[in-house]
Copies of this chain bind each other. A is one copy, B any other.
Amino acid sequence: MSLRYALIALLTGRPMTGYDISKSFSRSVAHVWHAPDSQIYPELNRMERDGLLTSVEVPWGKKGTKKEYHVTDAGLADFREWMGSPLAPQRQRDPAYLKAAYFDFAEPASVREQLRQQQAYWEEQLSLLEGTRAALVDRTHPTLAARLSKLTGREAELAVRYKVYAYDGLIARARTELAWIADGFALVDELHDS
């Protein structure tokens, strides 16, 4: 159900086509929520059917058209209701922790290799997150900038601060993962090198 609200959140910034949305989801939105095309397009249709979005046909080139989705008042009301309601507790389901608990079933060399891959992944994530955070702080982030242009100074301040807050959480999480991975290297050395 959260995909629906991720879509409304994104479209409060500016109207977008399914294609624009798909691109956003494979770039910055992916830090917060990942979704493939095969979920996005059907969900947009359902949301239009449910009256949360309306679409406007916009010409594209000579013959082509594209569909630009706009959030309706009903959509905004639905979003605000979701924003005001409590979240269901999240279920744990992270294969990295499952694997780590059973590292004694793998070769030390393989464990080190897997730790290196996880480390590379989280370092890249961290650098992407820090880049996005900086773009939010100086208000050059494109989706945020579009939204800010419609807000008062006070409202803009809130919008920016909460987004930076969310990214600070993601950055802290990435750093925690990296620290855990570093501990993993130390543990493998201790258990298999001495």
Chain A interfacial positions (CB closer than 8 Å to B): 2, 5-6, 9, 30-34, 79-80, 83-84, 86-87, 89-107, 110, 113-114, 117-118, 121, 155, 157-159, 161-163, 165-170, 172-173, 176-177, 179-180, 183-184, 187, 191
Query: Quick one: which of B31, B89, B96 contacts A90, CB cutoff 8 A?
Result: B96
Tell me how far the C-beta of A101 lies from the nearest C-beta in chain B, rounded to whole angstroms: 4
Report yes or no: B84 in contact with A107, Cβ–Cβ below 8 A: yes
Measured between alpha carbons, how far is A82 from B183 in the docked complex, in Å? 22
Counted per complex, copies of this chain come to 2
Given contacts A84-B107, A86-B114, is CB(A166)–CB(B100) below 8 Å?
Answer: yes
Q: Which of B98, B121, B179 contacts A9 (CB 8 A)?
A: B98
Chain B's nearest CB lies how many Å from the CB of A179? 7
Known A104-B155, A157-B191, A168-B183; further 18 A-B contacts with Cβ < 8 A? A2-B93, A5-B95, A9-B101, A32-B101, A33-B98, A34-B93, A83-B102, A84-B107, A84-B110, A90-B96, A100-B162, A100-B165, A101-B166, A103-B158, A104-B158, A104-B162, A165-B183, A173-B180
